[in-house]
Amino acid sequence: MKKTLYLLALLCAALGSAQQKQVNIYFDTASNSLGVPAVKTIDSLIDAAKAIADYRIHITGYTDPVGSTDANYQLGMKRATAAKDYLVKKGLKESAIITLSKGEEEARDQSSEHHRRRRATLALSSIELQSLPSGYEERTFRGQSGTIVTGSFPVGSGATVTVSEFFTSESMIANSMYAMDTNGNILLSCGMIEICTEDVKFDPTGKFFIVKVPSRGRADTRMTLWLSDQVNSGTRWRETPIEVTVEDGYYVFKVPVTENRCLKINLDMPCIVSNNCEVVFIATHKPYNFTDVQVKTDSRALAFSAQVNDTLYAFTKGRGESMVDMKFVGLRSGRPYLTIGLDKCKFSRDRGTSYYYICEDCLKTKKKGFFAWLQKVFTGKEQYEEIEINEQ
């Protein structure tokens, strides 16, 4: 816990050093129109951005708590987009501007007046290594799945940086790297990595890595950076304030170098209704010790989040995404071990979360054919057989 708080403090420091300027602009009730004061405020940010070679502007839209959650999320996004459109009109790079909405997310538990909540926050930052001191050079290390880690090291040093990636359910289960926060809430993950260093002497003027994690076709500007807490059941995650941008198919961010040899990082967001995300739990009637699990159709699959315990697995899906024809596949050593359609499982739903239970009876299916019909005629009972389970 102390290590995590220390890392969070370093992250805040890194964010503060990279941050050049942050401003707030305010809106009328239910409006996303920029007023004269807002335009003047944005103009001051434009001047600061033009003085930075590699700038990023992160715009977050907010609302007061009046109205529905969905409507406020949309209004927050419209406010952020209005600010972005103005910046682009004034000549700033559209690719360097990231927008997201937090709607009323930070409003209900605050006592500030409503007009202070109807705002957009524009944060200008630079994502580049500082000028290297004499005797240091920029070096880049890569993970097998495309993650890029860049830092500054002494010229000719034998420093080694290992980048491990956990992008699949199989690798997550094997390493107990699950998308759950420290309170046990399920997260939607876009990638977990671990950066380990050996024999490293870092540039004292820039103790951080620039990290680029491939979005793998799922770029989402709502993703935030999380650091790990180690618990008995695996890794749990704590959100950090560091900025994440999306550019050219990568999530890009800075993380500070620490005295710890390894640093675990996760790109996540809470799987909640306001994030257009729903949790799907799959429970089995006994432990099967799967090495990999999937919920899928022939054309699409749900995102795996966590093995909660030895009989419970968590997945995430888009809000309203159909579960028709979905099946659960549990594997051992890469071979299908158990496959069952979710329509055969016991089902319940509560507050936007779906629960499927693979009970023992669910693993039975009606026998078909003439002899099955004949047995039913003479016994008056349906004939069942076990769903084939590969015991190899």
User: Residue 364's pLDDT is what?
Assistant: 63
Rounded-to-integer distance, Cα 119 and Cα 109, Å: 16
Task: Assess if residue 388 is contained within a domain.
Answer: no
Q: What's the DSSP call for residue 301? A: B
pLDDT in tens, 109-139: 454 566 678 899 998 877 655 566 677 778 8
Residue 382 lies inside a defined structural domain of this protein: no
On whether both 140 and 267 belong to a single domain, the answer is yes
Paired tokens of 71: 């409507």
Same domain, 210 and 300: no
Q: Which tens digit of pLDDT belongs to each residue from 256-302? A: 776 667 889 999 988 887 778 999 999 999 998 999 999 999 999 99
**pLDDT tens sequence across 171-212:** 999 999 999 998 889 999 888 999 988 766 665 555 678 899
Which CATH number characterizes residue 117's domain?
A: 3.30.1330.60
In the chain, the amino acid numbered 314 is A
- pLDDT tier at 314 (50, 70, 90 boundaries)? very high
* Residue indicated by tokens 């319940």: 348
Q: What is the Cα–Cα distance from 58 to 64, expressed in whole angstroms?
A: 20
Structure tokens that stand for 13 in this block: 């420091």
**Within this chain, do residues 321 and 236 fall inside the same structural domain, yes or no?**
no
**Could you read off the pLDDT of 67-86 as tens digits, one per residue?**
888 788 889 989 999 999 99
Which domain does 71 fall in, by range? Answer: 2-126
Same-domain check for residues 62 and 175: no
pLDDT at 262: 85
Computed over its alpha carbons, how large is the radius of gyration of the chain?
25
| pTM confidence score | 0.65
Q: Are 354 and 326 in contact (CB under 8 A)?
A: no
Domain boundary among 105, 126, 147: 126
CA distance 178 to 183: 13
The pLDDT assigned to 349 comes to 92
- What whole-number percentage of the chain has pLDDT above 70? 78
Residue 115: the pLDDT is 64
Q: Are residues 337 and 308 in the same domain?
A: yes
Regarding whether 304 and 209 lie in a shared domain, the answer is: no
Tell me what pLDDT residue 2 has: 46
Residue 224 has pLDDT above 80, yes or no: yes
Look at the chain and report how many structural domains it folds into.
3
With tokens 């964010």, the residue in question is 15
Q: Is residue 61 part of a domain?
A: yes
Is the domain of 322 the same as that of 252? no
Adjacent-strand bridge partners of 279: 316
- How high is the pLDDT of residue 389? 55
Stretch 57-66: mean pLDDT: 88
Query: Residue 10: pLDDT above 80?
Result: no
User: Residues 80, 49: one domain?
Assistant: yes
348 in any annotated domain? yes
Half-sphere exposure of 122 (CA within 13 A, CB side): 28
Interior angle at CA 54, CA 49 and CA 56, nearest 5: 60
State whether residue 116 is helix, strand or coil: helix
| C-beta separation of 317 from 310 below 8 A | no
Does some domain include residue 378? no
**Residues 229, 117 within the same domain:** no
What band does 50 get if pLDDT is binned at 50, 70 and 90? confident
Which of the four pLDDT bands, split at 50, 70 and 90, describes residue 6?
very low
Average pLDDT of span 214-227? 84
Most confident of 143-152, 228-237, 291-300: 291-300
Sheet with 277-284: strands ordered across: 303-309, 312-318, 277-284, 353-358, 346-350
Q: Of the residues 215, 245, 273, which one is the last residue of a structural domain? A: 273
Q: What is the structure's pLDDT at 173?
A: 94
Confidence bin at 249 (pLDDT 50/70/90)? confident
Convert the pLDDT of each residue in 324-381 to its tens digit: 999 999 998 767 788 899 998 999 998 889 999 998 887 765 555 555 555 555 555 5
Q: Which of 36-45, 82-91, 124-133, 242-251 has the least mean pLDDT?
A: 124-133
- DSSP three-state, residue 375: helix
Do 266 and 143 belong to one domain?
yes
Last residue of a domain, one of 233, 258, 273: 273
Residue 233 has what pLDDT? 55
Residues 140 and 155 in one domain: yes
Can you give the pLDDT at residue 296? 96
- Do both 349 and 292 map to the same domain? yes
**CB contact at 8 A, 371 and 384:** no
Rounded (5°) CA angle 79-85-87: 110
User: Do the Cβ atoms of 249 and 219 come closer than 8 Å?
Assistant: yes
Q: Is the residue at 358 inside a domain?
A: yes
Q: What whole-number distance in Å separates Cα of residue 117 and Cα of residue 61?
A: 9
Does residue 370 sit within a domain? Answer: no
Q: Measure the CA–CA gap between 230 and 177, rounded to whole angstroms.
A: 10
pLDDT above 60: residue 384: no
Domain assignment present for residue 368? The answer is no
